[in-house]
Amino acid sequence: MSEPNGSNGPQDEPNDGSKGGPQDPPATEQVNIEKLPARNRRRFPDISSRAYEHPADRSALVALRKLSGFDTVFKALSGLLPERSLRLLFLSDSVRVSDEQFAHLNAMLRDACYILDLEKSPLLYVSQNPVPNAMCIGMDEPIIVLTTGLVELLDEEEMRAVIGHEVGHALSGHSVYRTILLFLTTLALRVAWIPLGNLAVLALVTALREWFRKSELSADRAGLLVGQDVQASMRGLMKLAGGNHLHEMNVAAFLKQADEYEASGDLRDSVLKILNVLPRSHPFTTVRAAELRKWSGSRDFQRLMDGHYPRRTEDKDTSVSDSFKESAQHYADTVKQSKDPLMGLIRDLSSGAGDLGGKLRDRFTGAGAQTPGSSGSSGSSGSSGSSGSSNGSDSPDAPPADRPPES
């Protein structure tokens, strides 16, 4: 990451109480005052999206762009999905956020754009839908949409993190690919009767979903940079999982679930985890919370808060190979630190472990948990396999149907 250039580092901004004065400021100064955040938080002038983007997000997007036929589909859909159509859709059947409508959300949007140094705020709409949801779409300019279910679910600081999350999507340019994903998901249903056509569309949808799940981890980080309140970000994710019964929930216990999810079971459970997440547009909320907790406690996050972050003016000098190197290092570190049985097997394979066939068998059957004297017993093996099967049977026989994307 680059070093800050003097006053270009993050800045502490005054709160609303500093706005008053005996005389009205000049018009140009008044515009700047309106953009000030609602409380003391750091601002990040000229921040590049590279500062918060998850390495897996960048590598998945590069892989997506290399997918056969993607460029052709992208160019075709760019012409088929005009910006005017999207804007008319939300203008006609949603409430546009402004100083006159949902003024508190409008203030949060200006706040988020000020913190992340966006010159122009995306359009923000509230749409009637009881399902808590938010998205950032648009081919030319990003449009942010919040559902009424989400607005009613979250408190002020939790909502601030969500709006920062969506502004992070906008800064990273995710809205274009999100729009294509929405269109292709609908198209896949309409051409399901065409065997080869459906397979081609599903391949693109699967690749886009894989990238989008990773992009959510990046946007969660952007939400934390805007809100600068880790507990609020965690509460928001917890509410998406368990609803508005905050007095019945606990952030620490919720994070323990993520640890259990990663470490529990054998290789069969690892495969089931992959199958369960494939139809989803978002990672599981416990996984998102654990990833955000890890990043908020990292040296990279602290350096960013201290003003050491890459800037947009440097983006043109950043090569794709640099992103690949960073992503490769991230995956290597993930494999080393992961408690997942599949990642453990990969560690064994990469370290040249001896009885690879035996290790693979033991990981699938759960026999590795048995004592050395009982591991060769067919009875023990059968018992262990039965135990692993019962763990896996908690998941439904088929992967859960995708639900509307969470914030």
Which residue intervals of 96-248 are DSSP H helices?
A: 103-115, 148-153, 156-172, 174-190, 195-227, 230-242
d(CA 168, CA 275): 28
d(CA 243, CA 117): 32
What 3-state class would DSSP assign to 312? helix
For 128, the token pair is: 């009637």
Provide the annotated active-site residues. 166
Residues forming a β-bridge with 125: 96, 145
d(CA 161, CA 141): 21
The residue assigned the tokens 């081919």 is 139
**Residue 306, number of CB atoms within 10 A of its CB:** 12
In the sheet that holds 143-147, the strands lie side by side as 95-96, 123-127, 143-147, 134-137
Which residue intervals of 352-396 are DSSP H helices?
A: 356-365, 378-392
The dihedrals phi and psi of 136, each to the nearest 5 degrees, come to: -125, 115
**Residue 322, number of CB atoms within 10 A of its CB:** 12
Angle made by CA atoms 90, 150, 98, in degrees to the nearest 5:
50
**Residue 397, number of CB atoms within 10 A of its CB:** 5
| DSSP letter assigned to residue 316 | G
CB 322 within 8 A of CB 59: no
**Residue 381, number of CB atoms within 10 A of its CB:** 18
Q: Are strands 123-127 and 143-147 parallel, antiparallel or unpaired?
A: parallel
